[in-house]
């Protein structure tokens, strides 16, 4: 299951990152990056998902507003769709089968065109729709059941000049997903359960959004000017990044190791539930560490098969055990042998980092927790020996209380820092930069001078 639409968007972005890079590089005259890509979300539910995708890809975000043209006596059956810019898609086969007259079609179109214009003005204000001509367009929704709206959106994107249309959803009915390959060049769907039932059944939080929330997400996206927030695209460091396999006991897990020439220590990232080594937030923080002379290791805590069991995601003992094993193996790599080790944990990963830091024989110099759930490691907190920094967003009130309670249980050197104006995911402008600066200073203080 997905926690909510934003978490689903982050997971979808991880899958799309490589697809956009590969497909764009193969297009004539294309630059090979997300600069030729536009992400469009279907209001309302698709926009929070699309927001995370656009942010991760550093691509512009817009909405694609379509209105299904329903057969008058059976509105759930669409004989076509309307899109902005005068786009009109008609299925002549349905028109023939339903024996629709021009007058009947015109009446439906007039009503739906008025609603289309109203919705566009409300959601965008004075902003013009994104230019899709000659670009890769990623159409995003929170899921597909019958697929009628998604099909229309892909057709409208194509009619507006898109050179390539990618439909991306977190979950969908298997048969519908297959049928949508007729209208999209590529269909990306993370989950196609045979027992589908409904889209909302695959989200812990599937609460209905509002138009005002859509407007706010578009405003925030506009602030990054179509380039993505500075941390959104991962911020890869100058210099080589080595893709590695790490030994975690019974399994080997993929990772990403970056070692600057003069390194003062190595920071192992422990991501939260629903994330991975591709997390754009963690990759941004890692890139700032690399530029400051810190080596970094980002690795997946679970195999793809294990992720299907949500119990594994919250099995802090299992995650901590794997982290301890990976930490022990780091000393076998000559490029980081002998340097201090630190943990950077996010969300539930913060609990695993603290749990591991409390294990006998696990030599960790410092731990930083971002928006963490240290309460999930409560039995082990008094045994943590590494200097621990807890960073929480000022608007994340429930997690602030959990971190304050955990701080009282810690017996090691510790500090709680609250980033003003930040929510749980530190999406607000400048907040993740503050996290990176606080964490970098903490590790520098406890690692000592660099090793050549």
pLDDT tens-digit map of 248-285: 878 888 888 999 887 889 999 998 876 777 777 788 89
Is 416 found in the same domain as 289?
yes
Is 292 found in the same domain as 198?
no
Q: pLDDT per residue over 345-388, tens digit each? A: 998 899 999 999 999 988 899 999 999 999 999 999 999 999 99
Instruction: Say yes or no to pLDDT of 189 above 60.
Output: yes
Domain boundary among 193, 223, 253: 223
Ranking 3-12, 183-192, 278-287, 319-328 by mean pLDDT, the lowest is 278-287
Is 187 found in the same domain as 258?
no
pLDDT band at 31 (very low <50, low <70, confident <90, very high): very low
Q: pLDDT per residue over 127-180, tens digit each? A: 778 888 889 999 999 998 878 788 888 988 888 889 999 999 999 999 989 999
CA distance 331 to 169: 41
Is 416 found in the same domain as 367?
yes
> Which residue range(s) make up the domain with 253?
242-447
Is 249 found in the same domain as 135?
no
Does a structural domain hold residue 228? no
Is 272 found in the same domain as 207?
no
Does a structural domain hold residue 233? no
Ramachandran angles phi, psi of 303, nearest 5°: -75, 160
Which is higher by pLDDT, 233 or 214? 214
Is 168 found in the same domain as 297?
no
How many domains does one find in the chain? 2
pTM: 0.54
Which is higher by pLDDT, 76 or 212? 212
* Mean pLDDT, range 315-325, rounded to an integer: 93
Is 58 found in the same domain as 24?
yes
Is 212 found in the same domain as 288?
no
* Mean pLDDT, range 107-135, rounded to an integer: 83
Which is higher by pLDDT, 53 or 130? 53
Instruction: Say yes or no to pLDDT of 25 above 60.
Output: no
CA distance 327 to 248: 9
pLDDT band at 224 (very low <50, low <70, confident <90, very high): low
CATH number at residue 215: 3.40.50.2020
**Kind and range of the H or E run holding 96:** helix 92-98
- Tell me the three-class secondary structure of 327-347, residue by residue: HHHHCCCCCCCCCCEEEEEEC
């Amino acid at each position: 299951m997905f926690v909510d639409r934003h978490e689903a968007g982050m997971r979808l972005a991880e899958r799309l990152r490589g697809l956009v890079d590969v497909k764009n590089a193969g297009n004539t005259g294309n630059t090979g990056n997300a600069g030729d890509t536009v992400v469009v979300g279907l209001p309302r539910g698709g926009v929070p998902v699309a927001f995370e995708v656009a942010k991760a890809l550093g691509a512009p975000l817009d909405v694609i507003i379509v209105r299904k043209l329903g057969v008058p006596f059976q509105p759930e059956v669409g004989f076509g769709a309307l899109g902005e810019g005068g786009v009109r898609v008609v299925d002549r086969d349905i028109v023939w089968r339903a024996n629709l007259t021009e007058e009947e079609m015109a009446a439906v179109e007039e009503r739906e065109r008025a609603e289309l214009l109203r919705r566009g003005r409300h959601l965008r204000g004075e902003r013009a729709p994104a230019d899709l001509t000659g670009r890769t367009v990623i159409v995003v929704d929170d899921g597909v059941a019958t697929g009628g709206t998604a099909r229309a959106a892909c057709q409208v994107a194509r009619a507006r000049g898109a050179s390539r249309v990618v439909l991306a959803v977190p979950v969908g009915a298997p048969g519908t997903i297959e049928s949508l390959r007729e209208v999209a060049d590529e269909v990306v769907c993370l989950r196609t359960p045979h027992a589908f039932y409904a889209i909302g059944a695959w989200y812990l939080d599937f609460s209905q959004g509002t138009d005002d929330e859509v407007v706010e997400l578009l405003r925030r996206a506009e602030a990054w000017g179509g380039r993505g927030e500075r941390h959104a695209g991962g911020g890869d460091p100058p210099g080589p990044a080595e893709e590695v396999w790490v030994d975690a006991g019974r399994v080997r897990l993929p990772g990403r190791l970056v070692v600057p020439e003069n390194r003062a220590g190595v920071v192992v990232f422990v991501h939260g539930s629903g994330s991975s080594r591709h997390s754009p937030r963690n990759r941004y923080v890692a890139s700032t560490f690399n530029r400051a002379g810190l080596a970094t290791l980002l690795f997946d805590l679970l195999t793809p098969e294990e992720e299907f069991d949500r119990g594994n995601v919250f099995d802090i003992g299992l995650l901590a055990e794997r982290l301890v094993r990976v930490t022990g193996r780091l000393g076998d790599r000559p490029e980081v042998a002998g340097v201090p080790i630190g943990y950077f944990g996010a969300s539930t990963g913060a609990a695993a980092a603290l749990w591991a830091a409390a294990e006998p024989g696990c030599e960790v110099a410092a731990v930083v927790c971002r928006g963490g759930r240290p309460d999930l490691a409560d039995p082990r907190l008094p045994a943590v020996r590494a200097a621990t920094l807890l960073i929480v967003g000022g608007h994340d009130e429930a997690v602030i209380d959990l971190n304050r309670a955990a701080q009282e249980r810690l017996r090691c050197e510790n500090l709680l820092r609250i980033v003003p104006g930040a929510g749980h995911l530190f999406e607000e402008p400048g907040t993740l930069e503050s996290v990176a600066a606080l964490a970098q200073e903490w590790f520098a203080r406890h690692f000592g001078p660099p090793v050549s």
